[in-house]
Amino acid sequence: MGTPRTAAPRGFVCTCGFHASRPFGRCPQCGEWGSLQPRSASGAGGAAARAVPLSEVRGGEAPRLVTGWGELDRVLGGGLVPGSLVLLGGEPGIGKSTLLLQLMARLAARGTVLYASGEESLEQLALRAARLRITEPGLHALAEPRLEAVLAEATRARPSVLAVDSVQTLLLEEGSPGSPGAVREATARLLAHAKSGAAPLVLVGHVTKEGALAGPKTLEHLVDVVLLFEGEASSSYRVLRATKNRFGSTRELGVFEMRGEGLVEVPNPSALFLAERAAGASGSAVAACLEGSRPILVEVQALTAPASGPPRRAVLGVDPYRVALLLAVCARRAGVDVLGSDVFVNVAGGVRLSEPAADLAVVAAIASSASGRAVDPRAVCFGEVGLAGEVRASGAADLRLAEAGKLGFRRCVLPAACCKEARAAGGLELVAVKDVRGALSALLSVR
Ligand SMILES: Nc1ncnc2c1ncn2[C@@H]1O[C@H](COP(=O)(O)OP(=O)(O)O)[C@@H](O)[C@H]1O
Ligand SMILES: [Mg+2]
């Protein structure tokens, strides 16, 4: 078992001299397509590649950098992975720089970290740090939009984590900053930098109005993790979720509150999301949802009103197509016809629900608004609604019920198919339903 005399290719190299630890379709330095070759194979015919048993490959086991912020670590899948590139996206003003500065301050306790900003001056950064009461001496800042200079300083200082804010403001030698090409090239260069060392890199990217991250979708393919920081401008709650994660689930959710002194994690978001609920008002229903491994109760609100013209639809927090489908189901299967009315649907607290188990609450909120009858304020519900009006099973009924019980709810309207699993959870009165009609009569009958 000696070391083979012909070493395996170590990384890739371009004809322009650019080195990378992984192949690129296009060289991030010179922009040439297909020019990167395995290092030992460049020029000559190339050495044979040799596969190895995966079970014998060591590495990739370096410990993650844990921020100690439970909400963030969970979304990351257990902390930052060495050598990874994390893209932190969100609308301007949502709090990306704040989150990043606080994150870096937490990591600075264990080694020097570098926060490079192309958006703000050192004075502005210091002002924010003072407001956030950040005093860690290990947090170094650089106000520098030129990518080359940022990379040079990172190479010299070798921080344990590098933050770059933002990809749109980075200046390359040529091309205008923020253009799709420049953004992509800057990201590719930063990726090569991250892969060449062990330090994770967090890159901020502004989300355009259309919701695209930093313009081209290709950016999301380049990076290891895409985090989205979301929330309503009017609300102080912020939700962090991973839309891509090579090292963890994309179903986890982190909840923060934006305060004057910075972002504070919200360990029990259900209580917070329901805090301002006008219990007993029509058009409001509580959904027992599951975001990742965590049960979360949220208020779904609906308002229906006579249309003056073509019926309008405005939907926040749930998939608008799903709502369109549910409106049709309400009309055809439950006798609640608001197809000709204006319909507004909102999920309180700026949460975005991704699971179909929220269907039943959407239907209940719409039917409640249309009929003027309030949903039982002590009841929660969950269940996917099918086109035939049937209520389908959703997973983890026990987790949902436990959360509802914890928050003082007394009844749960749930798919009949979930009842067996749910009985074990106990505590709440369970109302098993097979279809939307049954669900609505259970939810709307109590005044
Ligand atoms: N002096 C302040 N007091 C309280 N909150 C502030 C203050 N300054 C900024 N903020 C909050 O921080 C947000 C801006 O955060 P920032 O991290 O700069 O956003 P982004 O980097 O996503 O553009 C503001 O929308 C506001 O909610
Ligand atoms: Mg910012």
Beta bridge partners of 390: 435
* pTM strictly above 0.85: no
Name the pLDDT band for 61 (thresholds 50, 70, 90): low
- Residue that wins the pLDDT comparison between 89 and 48: 89
Q: What is the mean pLDDT of residues 336-347?
A: 95
Q: What is the pLDDT of residue 8?
A: 43
Task: For ligand 1, say whether the CB of 96 is within 6 Å of any of its atoms.
Answer: yes
Element (H or E) spanning 257, and its range? strand 253-259
Tokens of 94: 């949502």
Q: Is the CB of 350 under 6 A from ligand 1?
A: no
How far is ligand 1, taken at its centre, from the CA of residue 128, in Å? 9
Look at 5-14, 274-283, 319-328 and tell me which has the smallest mean pLDDT.
5-14
409: closest CA among 376, 365, 434? 376
User: In angstroms, rounded to a whole number, what is the distance separating the alpha carbons of residues 66 and 81?
Assistant: 9
Q: In testing the pocket of ligand 1, which one of 167, 258, 259, 261 has its CB within 8 Å of the most ligand atoms?
A: 258
Mutation probe of ligand 1 site: the residue of 88, 91, 94 with most atoms within 8 A of C-beta: 94
CA 53 to chain CA centroid, Å, is: 35
Q: Which residue has the higher pLDDT, 43 or 377?
A: 377
Residue with tokens 């405005």: 314
- pLDDT of residue 425 exceeding 80, the answer is no
The ligand placed nearest to the CA atom of residue 91 is 1
> Does any ligand 1 atom lie closer than 6 A to the CB of residue 94?
yes
Cβ of residue 89 lying under 6 Å from some atom of ligand 1:
no
Atom of ligand 1 nearest to the CA of 206: 22
pLDDT at 391: 96
**Which residue in 172, 237, 159 sits closest to 202, CA to CA?**
159
Report the alpha-carbon distance of residue 254 to residue 224 in Å, rounded: 19
304 pLDDT above the threshold of 60: yes
| Ligand 1, atom nearest to 100 Cα | 17
The Å distance, Cα 214 to ligand 1 centre, comes to 20
Q: How far is the CA of 413 from the centre of ligand 1 (A)?
A: 40
Report residue 25's pLDDT band, with 50, 70 and 90 as the boundaries.
confident
Cβ neighbours for 44, distance < 8 A, ≥ 6 positions apart: none
pLDDT for residue 276 is more than 50 = yes
Q: How far apart are CA 20 and CA 221, in angstroms?
A: 17
Quickly state the pLDDT bin for 447 (edges 50, 70, 90).
very low
What is the 94 CA–ligand 1 centroid distance (Å)? Answer: 7
Q: Count of residues for the chain?
A: 447
Pairing of strands 85-90, 225-230: parallel
Let me know the angle formed at the C-alpha of 225 by 8 and 231, rounded to the nearest 5 degrees. 175
Higher pLDDT pick, 55 / 287? 287
In short, whether 234's Cβ falls inside 6 Å of ligand 1 is no
Averaged confidence pLDDT in the chain = 87
β 113-117/139-143 pair status:
parallel
**Mean pLDDT over residues 33-51, rounded?**
66
| Residues facing 171 on adjacent strands | 146
**What does the pLDDT read at residue 48?**
80
For residue 431, the SS3 value is: strand
Q: Backbone phi, then psi, for 370, in 5-degree steps?
A: -65, -35
